[in-house]
Amino acid sequence: MAKVLMKGNEAIGEAAIRAGCVHFFGYPITPQSEVPEYLAKRLPEVGGKFVQAESEVAASNMIYGAAGVGVRVLTTSSSPGISLMSEALSYIAACELPVVVVNVMRSGPGLGGILPAQSDYLHATKGTAHGDFKMIVLAPASVQEAVNLVILAFELAEKYLNPVMVIGDGMIGQMMEPVEFPVEGVGKPLDPGNWALTGCKGRGKRIINSLYLDPEICYRHNLKLTAKYEEIRKAEQRFDTYNTDGPYDLLVTAFGMTSRIARTAIDELAQEGQRVALFRPITLNPFPYEALRAAASKAKRVLDLEMNMGQMLQDVRMALGPDAAIDFFGTAGGVVPSPDQCREKMLESISKTGSRPKAKGARRNP
Amino acid sequence: MPNTDTEVLMAGFGGQGMLLSGKILAYAAMYQGLEVSWLPSYGPEMRGGTANVTVCISEKQVASPYIAQPRALLTMNQPSLEKFGPRVRPGGLIIINSSLVPIKSDRADCRVIYVAANDLAAKVGTGRAANLVMLGVYVGLSGVVDAKVTEKIIEKEFSDKVKFIPANVAAFRAGLEEGVNARATNR
Amino acid sequence: MRKVFASTAGLTDRPTHYCPGCTHGIIHRMVGEVIEDLGIRERTVGIAPVGCSVLAYEYFNCDMFEASHGRAPAVATGAKRARPDIIVFSYQGDGDLASIGMGEIIHTANRGEKVTVIFVNNAIYGMTGGQLAPTTMPGQYSTTTPRGRDVRDCGYPVKMAEIIAQLTTPAFVARGSTHTPREIIATKALIKKAFEYQVAGTCFSLVEVLSICPTNWGLSVRESEKWLEREMLPYYPLGVKKRPEDFAEVSADAKH
């Protein structure tokens, strides 16, 4: 299949269709509005349903209803809208329904701004809403990867009967890059199996419910969910590395688009003989702690780069322990760190290790 | 050897078509097997304010699509020249639409080209195609993408407004000629 | 011996948790009978609210959702759009539908979702212990209006059936009551009509059912029925508020 140049938001919408999802419920919010706009046009062409809900609160409950009757369903939003969807995500996780939610992050807190940010990391991975539940959280770093991960998100949602969130920043939604789509209907049709509410013809009634007034039963339900999250933790960690083959002094940790900016700086520094590697978690939950530990063991120091005030940093610290030498650089509010800024921060970190450039090359900025 | 590892910032007022010029450039590079990214400014600033897009073109996967210091700047208005002019990498290229920008660039360390894009576009068809004159100048000067491929992309972009194709292609060609001539001229 | 009374196939055999004298059981039974009468039990999906009828998913003998507080109409929208062949109904109280869920019910009605809503209005929050509802009557005591509902603070009770009925979108909207056997029979007919419109794929339908809450009203069942008749009926008039047949096509077309 030929490559097409496509905006991230539109590619996300098309990816859902290719994954066999033809039901979308959502609400406009910058910078993700191209997803509903694209699907409003496209879904009727493939026999799908598009509903613009009256709010994110309603949209998230609509996906609860649609998933509950056993169809593949998508909603997308951006940070403040995701906050409004959080309640429903708790119910969906509790009821073990497969849904995919995409968060094209903008800056916060509050109304924040509409420019790119990564400040919903903790919300997505640790504290989405009330109760003990976890989503699988996937972070793409390119439009192509956004497509691949949306498709994977549906697979994982249905494999584990759990909400999956694909989390990118405003840049990934707004930028165009070449993408290649798989043919339509990848993966098997959704099997509503023994849980979907399809009418009780020929069987006993089914209930989709998260109310457990008996504490013992509610406790058992939590244990069951926890066992599932443990299974996910063992099986689904994904990450990417760059420049880790040879020796390196500094390991940079970054997710999503920030990792791309970091790579430019890493490439520039490599020409100056500086050895910097990159570790990029693709699954923010489950976070690849062990793999990060292994990658960091070869470095003298770690620099965590994020478009927030230090959220993934908590996981990096958890992976590497209290004695690890970890620096942090973050921007927020919609300010994107430039490759040069990242380069400066990398040099600062390297200077703390006492390492000198290992290859010949003109250092532009001693 | 064309330099196929570059970043171009294209800026102007919303509605001047610089985002479209950037898209055509990105498409042309993609059809030539290059890796590209097209990153626009977005949000309220686009409505009546300045709109800009950064196009990165590379033989390998584009690392950062966000570039603080582009190698080339194409500017359709004064605010964009004032804002982005100082950021162009030393040795870079600045193309200024002198039909609309009354000031000069003070970058002695860059190659600065002044093109009366609106006048040129009006001469060959319509002044509204000034954005394609600018693109033509850049393509002619840089050789980053093939001019014939770019023309095909222009035709494709206007495929549902066929009547606009001749004027836009003509504007692109007029710019291209300026660019090729400028390229042949040693500084 | 001739069997003159039996439980309905539309309900399970589970005893309900409702307080003595509560009319939820009667309304459940009316809905259950309609589902049985129309032969739709095996293709019906119901949605329980948060409130006294939170456990309704145990009592209706069909596939059931439990929704979060106020969101049942949104869940209904998702279910019905995804599977238009199923019959979808929500069963909601006044706090759920007219307070926290006001946005969802208005917009679900306004989109003309082909779903049926049973709205039980007993003018009080039952499950949380007798607090003010949007439908609490002026002067009525509740645990959060200990001096009676002061309309200068709380406004006047919300007339949901009338609010929904004034939307332009075609719908069937009616109000019934449970304070006399005659009204119960009439209300069941309204509920049946509401489901029939959905079965025919015609329109959104909502039946508001006035209900008593002896426990939180602090009255006997008999007194509660009298109180409903005296206080609520004049404010919440019974009857059909809107029929899809009455709809005059709006010729507005703003396409440009």
Reply yes or no on whether the pLDDT at A360 is more than 50: no
Q: Per the CB < 8 Å rule, is A177 touching B64?
A: no
- Identify whether residues A110 and A143 lie together within a single domain: yes
**Distance between the two ends of chain B, CA-based, in angstroms?**
18
Residue B31 domain flag: yes
Q: Which helix (H) or strand (E) holds A146?
A: helix A143-160
Judge if A9 and A141 occupy the same domain.
yes
The pLDDT, as a whole number, for residue B53 is 96
In a domain, A19, yes or no: yes
Select from A188, A217, A235 the last residue of a domain: A235
Asked if A56 and A192 sit in the same domain, the reply is yes
Contact A71 C82 (CB under 8 A): yes
Q: Is residue A365 part of a domain?
A: no
Mean pLDDT, rounded, for A223-252: 98
CATH at residue B90: 3.40.920.10
Query: What domain range is A85 assigned to?
Result: 4-235
Q: Is A214 among the domain residues?
A: yes
Structure tokens at C105: 């019910």
A133 is a domain residue? yes
Q: Are C84 and C113 in contact (CB under 8 A)?
A: no
- Is the same domain home to A249 and A206? no
Q: How many CA atoms does the CB half-sphere of B65 hold within 13 Å?
A: 29
Residue A192 has pLDDT above 90, yes or no: no
CA distances for A240 relative to A282, A306, C33, angstroms: 7, 16, 59
- Mind listing the domains of chain C with CATH numbers? 24-246 (3.40.50.970)
- Cα separation, A323 vs C146, whole angstroms: 59
What is the C-alpha separation between B133 and B115, in angstroms, rounded?
Answer: 8
Q: Which two tokens stand for residue A293?
A: 């530990």
Residues A146 and A283 in one domain: no
Name every residue whose Cβ is closer than 8 Å to that of residue A343 and which is 6 or more positions away in sequence: A265, A268, A269, A365
Length of chain A: 366
**Rounded Cα–Cα distance for residues C79 and C88 (Å):** 7
Give the best residue of A104, A175, A243, A364 to mutate against chain B (max B CB count within 10 A). A175
Contact A272, A347 (CB under 8 A): no
Residue of chain B nearest A172, judged by CA positions: B39
Q: Are residues A255 and A106 in the same domain?
A: no
Nearest chain A residue to C43 by CA: give it. A199
Query: Is residue A246 within a helix (H) or strand (E), and if so which, with residue range?
Result: none
Residue C12 contacts A, CB cutoff 8 Å: yes
Same domain assignment for residues A76 and A225 = yes
Q: Is B12 in contact with B51 (CB distance < 8 Å)? A: yes
Domain span at residue B77? 6-182
- Considering only CA atoms, which of A259, A263, A257 is closest in space to residue A173? A257
Q: Are residues A81 and A203 located together in one domain of the fold?
A: yes
Question: What CATH number does the domain containing A253 carry?
Answer: 3.40.50.920
Chains B and C touch, contact meaning at least 3 pairs of CB atoms under 8 angstroms apart: no
Q: Is residue A8 domain-shared with residue A151, that is, in the same domain? A: yes
Does any domain span residue A205? yes
In a domain, A127, yes or no: yes
B64 assigned to some structural domain:
yes
Q: Which of C36, C41, C65 should one mutate to test binding to chain A, selecting the residue with the greatest count of A CBs within 10 A?
A: C65
Whether residue A144 sits in one domain with residue A82? yes
Q: Is residue B187 in a domain?
A: no
Same domain, A110 and A194: yes
Do A100 and A150 meet the contact criterion of CB atoms below 8 Å apart? yes
How close A70 gets to chain C, by Cα (Å)?
8
Q: Quote the minimal CA–CA distance from A88 to chain C in Å.
A: 7
- Verify that A230 and A266 share a domain, yes or no: no
The chains in contact with chain C, meaning 3 or more Cβ pairs closer than 8 Å, are A
Quote the minimal CA–CA distance from A7 to chain B in Å: 9
Residue A79 located in a structural domain = yes
Subunit contact C103:A54, Cβ cutoff 8 A: yes
User: Are A94 and A70 within 8 A, CB to CB?
Assistant: no
Tell whether A203 lies on the interface with C, counting CB pairs under 8 A. no
pLDDT at B187: 53
Angle between helices B130-142 and B165-184 (to 10 degrees): 40
Check whether A361 has a pLDDT greater than 80. no
Q: Which residues of B touch A142 (CB under 8 A)?
A: 61
Which tens digits make up the pLDDT trace of C44-68?
999 999 999 999 999 999 999 999 9
A43 vs C: CB within 8 A: no
Q: Which of A235, A260, A281 is the last residue of a domain?
A: A235
Domain stop point among A205, A235, A265: A235
H-type alpha helices, B70-164: 78-84, 117-124, 130-142, 147-157
**Averaged confidence pLDDT in chain A:** 95
CB atoms within 10 A of CB A48: 18
Q: Does the pLDDT at position A185 exceed 90?
A: no
B1 assigned to some structural domain: no
Reading chain B (187 residues) residue by residue, the pLDDT tens digits are 345 689 999 999 988 999 999 999 999 999 999 999 999 987 655 555 679 999 999 999 999 999 999 999 999 999 999 999 999 999 999 999 999 999 999 999 999 999 999 999 999 999 999 999 999 999 999 999 999 999 999 999 999 999 999 999 999 999 999 999 999 985 5
DSSP letters along B162-185, please? Answer: GGGHHHHHHHHHHHHHHHHHHHHS
Tokens read off for A271: 């020409």
pLDDT value at residue A2: 82
Q: What is the CATH number of the domain that holds A133?
A: 3.40.50.970
Question: Would residue A310 count as lying in a domain?
Answer: yes
Q: Does A71 touch chain C (CB under 8 A)?
A: yes
Contact with chain B for residue A267, Cβ under 8 A: yes
The whole-angstrom distance between residue C55's C-alpha and the CA centroid of its chain comes to: 15
Q: What is the Rg, in whole angstroms, of the alpha carbon atoms belonging to chain A? A: 21
Q: Count how many domains chain A has.
A: 2
Q: What Rg, from alpha-carbon coordinates, does chain B have?
A: 15
Q: Closest CB to A23: pick one of C12, C74, C82.
A: C82
State how many domains chain B has. Answer: 1
Give the per-residue pLDDT at B48. 58
Query: Taking CB atoms and an 8 Å cut-off, how many pairs form between chains A and B?
Result: 72
Query: For chain A, first and last CA: distance in Å?
Result: 47
Beta strands C239-242 and C171-177, pairing class? antiparallel
